Structure 1
Amino acid sequence: MRIRPPATRPPAIRPLTSRLASAALGPVTAGFGLAVGHLVAAATTPATSPLLVVGATVIDRTPTSLKEWAIAHLGSHDKTVLVGSVLLVVLAVSTLVGPLARRRPIAGVLLLAALALVAGGCALRRPGATYADLLPSLVAGVAAVASLLAIRALVRRARPGGTDPSRRVALLTLGTTAVGAAAVGLTGRWLAGYRSRDETFALPRPTDPAGAFPAGLDRTVPGITPLRTRAADLYRVDTRLDVPVVSAADWSLTVDGQVDHPFTLSLDELLAMPLIERDITLTCVSNSVGGPYVGAGRWLGVRLTDLLHRAGVQEGADQILSSDVDGMTISTPLRLASDGRDSMVAVGFNGAPLPRAHGFPARLLVPGLYGFIGATKWLRRMTLTTYAAQDAYWTKRGWATNAPIRISSRIDTPRPLATVDAGETVVGGVAWAQESGGVTRVEVSVDGGRWQAARLGPSVGDDYWRQWFWRWPARPGVHTLACRVVDGAGQVQTAVRATPFPSGASGIHTIQVSVR
């Protein structure tokens, strides 16, 4: 009778397990360090999280064409994709830690320390950075190195035996560390979210209120953009990967530079000034023809000219260089900001304080200008200067210094590539013409045919968009719909296509639909 030998694990499994554990050692320890660093940043300054400071540096170094591609194709997910990509790169580089540490432990330690130093260097490059901003990156490095050494020590103390406990300890320790990293990271994310929740308080009543807001076409034309944008639906496009945590009690606004009387105001002092209330459409220069980065609502704020008159602007100044709470700069032409339009330092939107994501506690708002030259969020300082003396963030990157919002229109319904039934179909959307007398006419064309006048919704003012609709006797087949706007000066929306860079997109919005 033949006796079988005891069942044993195939020899190939042990080396494979060892290689997997070695490869996982770096990502697990680096991930633990990143999680701890993120938690520290969430408790202090969220923008200094190691992942976020590296991501912000990537944004600053990314070519304009690639940024515009990301905004156009990824939309509001562009920041998530960027942070995820940075995380993947860090974890990929850290896979070298395990093999290095097996031969020379100091080599693995140095690689983790180098990753932390890269994050620390990025933190110090932030506008207005201080040495305190290094703390999350330094703590991340210490946590990563400490976890590496601890895992190594535990595995070395394991006694070899028939069940191969050293590998079992390695896998168990790595798994426990990975779970701990996830728990710490989620805690940091929750804390950052908790600290960045919106502050609510009663806003003063405006001394110069807006008129009664009309009822729009929201209910009568299904699928059309609402006449007033909810705060939760207002687009957000900026260079930040976080939302600044700014306390209303600690915030202040400084007006300085080429002025006779520089001054600083607290939020209470700003709110004590005369407030105006205006209905204004806000548009991002990155908005492509027919794009989503436009919204409209009722804004409350202090007239910009009241602040400028108080400061006493000196002759020769031609630029308002505004800075946010972290030193991000935007340039606004002084001539346009003070030419009689309702420019303001806004503190409220649709009857409530500004949401944090949209500039709490105060932001600059210049009607008729794209946001990148007239809508600084999280405003902290306005410096009167000249374009010859100082360049703002976007100016350094080749964007225009004078960028009025181009007249434009958009089809909201039916949706692109939709299938509709033959017969009467309502085509509707919004149009805006802020710099030239508002919207006076919107026209629709089918398959390149003659332009036909659409019906307009109620007017809320020249600085506000206008809803429109047209009843189309749709026939079976595939059709192309197009729309264009005519402004108060008789100017017809141009069909010449232009990209958002450097001063805003142009062209005619067209969509294709199928009729059955």
Structure 2
Amino acid sequence: MKRLWNALRSGSPFALAGVLATLCGMAAGHLIASLLKPASSPVLAVGSTVIDLTPTPLKEYAVREFGTKDKPILLASVMAVTLLLAAVAGLLARRWFPVGAGLLIALVALAGAAAVTRPLATASDVVPSLVAAVVGLVVLVLLVRLLNGSREPADEPAQAAAEEDPAPTHSAGGPVGPSPAGGTGPFDVMSNLEPIARRKPRSKSKSKSAPTAAPRASRRTLLITTGLVAAASATMGWAGEKIIAYRTRIGNVNLPPAAKPIAPLPAGLENVYSGISNFQTSTDRFYRVDINLTLPVVPVDDWKLTIDGDVDSSFSLTFDELAAMPLIERDITMTCVSNEVGGRYIGAARWLGVPLTDLLDRAGVGSKADQILSTAVDGFTISTPLEVARDGRDAMVAIGMNGEPLPAEHGFPARLITPGLYGFVGATKWLTRLTLTTYDDDSAYWTDRDWATDAPIKISSRIDTPKPLATIKDGQTVIGGVAWAQRVGINKVEVRIDGNAWQEATLGPDAGIDYWRQWYLPWDASPGQHMLAVRATSLDGEVQTAARATPFPEGSSGVQEIVVTVE
């Protein structure tokens, strides 16, 4: 077993060479992609393809378990598999360099194929992968040559000894001889484990006639080269991230005021009862759930919004032209369909934008269309029922959020906001096209994955304080949280403690039917474990259902119940 371990360990520097070559190639590709199109970066392209191919249940599991960390975990998984194969490539390159190099090139080829098959991809999207292949191959050649040059020429003495004395000899260390395969296979390492001092010395004549060994690379040279490769990889990766951050920044964008500004929001309950969600969600704490591993680069001066399809007259607007139209501002709560009962993928903000109906009226909707197919700058699509956009709700193409231009992560320069619909059918970010079409003729990203085509947000409520499984002190405290029934509004919220009768809570300020309501209930908590539950009732009398449903395909439902300990 020890000999086997030594045999495997002897190849570890070559495995490291494969890993370093791949890292350096990927970093170089990422750097080039940051200058061209960030999404064409080899790792990001593969990651995006993995997202597209991942079954819906697995996607929902990732969002539920990892939240906003699902993307870093996915990228880490892609990197782990890639580097494992890179290590194999390095081991193969030790004796069969073309095979090892071929495996490394195959990995990059897969990344290139993933990049050029993305929506709206162009031929230039393969450039980062080509750069990764060239840089990775050059580094692999360099490291393998240095490693081969730095190894002790143990095979030559052993071969010489075998020629002088073919019969195996014995020593305190056990039998010593050629490998079982009789060639240069991986077991040669075992056959050469006997210390050099114990081997039968060569004759003088043999030594004189032996060719002079090539100069070996020093360990210092090898360590310096390895360190430089690692440093270059880290530097290029860091530079790529900095360039992407610079290119996706929001410049000086001045938003005009709404045609009819609305009153400021009233003070929320969070100012009185700690732990209840803020009445208005700050932009930096607003949830983000999408399939993008990197933010699209959208220069505002080059951006246009196009309205086309089944319309009387197609047209396009620049950002300045869109912002010059009469703007509305509305307080609207948004919810992700991936939100579990009591989940955190919900936020409430003040949005500024152009009414969607103004754009549709200007285009003149035809007689056949039954959906609006909205397209993002990266080719991602969402389907919104046309009737929903024209039923009087304040659907808009938003350009502002909480008094500021949209942040890059929330869709700058413009996004779709549709009150009362889950984001996957009404909240396209990085919007660039609105196409009037039919469900028979066109399907969107989530429709192709069997999600619902019409997904109104379900009435629901959440306990914010105390937290699930929390331990609190006995005595006077409050149970509090938020509730929502978009397009209808909240009439009341009730709390149940330990399965007893429902108690009506006190509601917080009202900002309209499309906005959530805060609530609280005073509670004299006694020591022990307690079960808390909450439900909401809408203004039209609908009571939040207790029937449990998963997010797929049209949103979760059920009553939230939590356990807390009082001491």
How far, CA to CA, are the matches of 1:105 and 1:164 in structure 2? Answer: 19
1:262-277 matched pairs, under 5 angstroms: 262-277=314-329
In the alignment, which of 35, 44, 47 is matched to residue 39 of structure 2? 47
Are residue 240 (structure 1) and residue 292 (structure 2) matched?
yes
* Rounded Cα–Cα distance in structure 2 between residues aligned with 1:454 and 1:136: 58
Q: Which piece of structure 1 moves more, 177-186 or 161-170? A: 161-170
8 Å CA contact 1:41–1:47 kept in 2: the answer is: yes
Q: Are 1:470 and 2:521 counterparts?
A: yes
Of 354, 369, 372, the match for 2:424: 372
Q: 1:367 Cα deviation (Å)?
A: 0.3
* Paired amino acid for 2:520: F
5 Å-filtered alignment, 1:212-223, equals 212-223=264-275
Equivalent position of 1:441 in the other structure: 492
- Structure 1 counterpart of 2:59: 67
Residue of structure 1 equivalent to 2:260: 208
> Which residue of structure 1 lines up, in the alignment, with residue 506 of structure 2?
455
Give the CA deviation at 1:425: 1.3
- Residue 70 of structure 2 aligns to a residue in which SS? helix
For residues 445 and 496 of structure 1, do their structure 2 counterparts lie closer, same or farther at Cα, with a shift above 3 Å needed? same
Are 2:142 and 1:150 equivalent residues in the alignment?
Answer: yes
| Deviation sequence 1:200-246 (CA, Å, 0-9, x none) | 42200111322331111111010110000111000000011011111
Alignment of 1:81-92 (within 5 A): 81-92=73-84
Q: What aligned pairs does 1:2-41 form with structure 2 within 5 A after superposition?
A: 18-41=10-33
Q: Distance in 2 between matches of 1:505 and 1:121?
A: 37
Separation in structure 2 between the aligned mates of residue 201 and residue 392 of structure 1, nearest angstrom = 31
Q: Distance in 1 between matches of 2:48 and 2:447?
A: 18
**Cα gap change, 1:252 to 1:38, in 2 (>3 Å):** same
Matched, 1:486 2:537: yes
Q: Given the alignment, which residue of 431, 434, 445 partners 2:483?
A: 431
Q: Distance in 2 between matches of 1:199 and 1:354?
A: 11
Task: Tell me which amino acid in the other structure corresponds to 1:97.
Answer: A
Corresponding letter in the other structure for 1:109 = A
Q: Is the 8 A contact 1:442 1:455 kept in 2?
A: yes
Partner of 1:285: 337
Counterpart-to-counterpart distance in 2, 1:173 and 1:16: 23
TM-aligned CA distance change 1:13 to 1:341, over 3 Å: closer
Alpha-carbon shift at residue 476 of structure 1 (Å):
1.3
Which runs of no fewer than 5 residues in structure 2 stay unpaired? 154-195, 197-214
- Distance in 2 separating the partners of 1:389 and 1:15: 61
Question: Out of 242, 249, 252, which is 1:190 matched to?
Answer: 242
What letter is aligned with 1:326? D
In 1, are the aligned partners of 2:25 and 2:134 still within 8 Å (CA)? yes
User: CA separation in 2, counterparts of 1:12 and 1:406?
Assistant: 62
Match of 1:116 among 102, 108, 113: 108
Mapped to 1, the partners of 2:467 and 2:403 lie a distance apart of 31
Whether contact under 8 Å (1:53, 1:119) holds in the other structure is yes
Between the aligned partners of 1:424 and 1:334, the Cα distance in structure 2 is 51
SS of 2:563's partner is strand
The farther-off stretch of 13-22 and 99-108 is 13-22
Q: TM-score, normalised by structure 2?
A: 0.86
The answer (yes or no) to whether the contact 2:17–2:144 under 8 Å persists in 1 is no
Determine the C-alpha separation between the residues in 1 that align with 2:216 and 2:308: 70
Q: CA deviation at 1:190?
A: 1.9
Question: Counterparts of 1:14 and 1:372 in 2: how far apart (Å)?
Answer: 55
Separation of aligned partners in 1, 2:235 and 2:152? 31
2:442 matched residue in structure 1: 390
Q: Match of 1:96, SS?
A: helix
Per the alignment, in what secondary structure is the counterpart of residue 393 of structure 1? coil
1:274-299 per-residue CA deviation (whole Å, 9 max, x = no partner) reads 10000000000000000000000100
Shift of 1:99: 2.3
Structure 1 residues 52-88: Cα deviation after superposition (integer angstroms, max 9, x where no partner): 1100111001110010000000011000000000000
Looking at structure 1, the residues matched to 427 and 260 of structure 2 have their Cα atoms a distance apart, in angstroms, of 21
Please say if residues 156 and 166 of structure 1, whose CA atoms lie closer than 8 Å, have aligned partners that are also in contact.
Answer: no
Task: Tell me, yes or no, if the aligned pair for 1:46 and 1:244 is still in contact at 8 Å.
Answer: yes
Q: CA deviation at 1:168?
A: 5.0
Larger-Rg structure: 2
Rounded to whole Å, the distance in 2 between the matches of 1:94 and 1:154 is 18
Q: Distance in 1 between matches of 2:244 and 2:489?
A: 42
Q: Report the Cα distance in structure 2 between the residues aligned to 1:319 and 1:355, rounded to whole angstroms.
A: 27
Which residue is equivalent to 1:515?
A: 566
Paired residues for 1:325-336 under 5 Å: 325-336=377-388
SS in 2 for 1:391: coil
Deviation at 1:159, TM superposition (A): 9.6
- 1:375-419 C-alpha deviation (Å, 9 max, x unpaired): 000001011000011110000000000000001000000111111
Q: Secondary structure at the match of 2:269?
A: coil
Which position in structure 1 is the counterpart of 2:376? 324
Paired residue type of 2:76: G
Q: Quick check: 2:13–2:147 contact (8 Å CA) kept in 1?
A: no
Query: Could you list the per-position Cα deviations for residues 303-329 of structure 1 after superposition, in whole angstroms to 9, with x for gaps in the alignment?
Result: 000000111110020000000001000
Shift of 1:165: 4.0
- Partner residue of 2:349? 297
Shift of the alpha carbon at 1:14? 8.9
Query: Corresponding residue for 1:6?
Result: none
Deviation at 1:198, TM superposition (A): 2.8
Is 1:406 the equivalent of 2:458?
yes
1:205, 1:184 → 2: CA distance? 42
Structure 1 residue 97, shift from structure 2 partner? 1.5
Partner residue, 1:102? 94
Runs of 5+ unmatched residues, structure 1 = 1-10
CA apart distance, 1:152:
3.2
Alignment partner of 1:86: what SS?
Answer: helix
Aligned-partner SS, 2:532: strand
In structure 2, the residue corresponding to 1:468 is in which secondary structure? strand
Q: Aligned pair in 2 of structure 1 residues 340, 348: CA closer, same or farther (>3 Å)?
A: same
Structure 2 CA distance for partners of 1:164 and 1:268, relative to 1, 3 Å? same
1:224 aligned onto 2:276 = yes
Measured on the aligned residues, the alpha-carbon RMSD in Å equals: 2.0
Question: Which residue type is aligned with residue 148 of structure 1?
Answer: L
Alpha-carbon distance between aligned partners in 1 of 2:448 and 2:89, rounded to the nearest angstrom: 39
- Indicate the SS of the match to 2:361: helix
Report percent identity of matched pairs: 54
Q: Distance in 1 between matches of 2:477 and 2:445?
A: 46
Shift of 1:166: 5.0
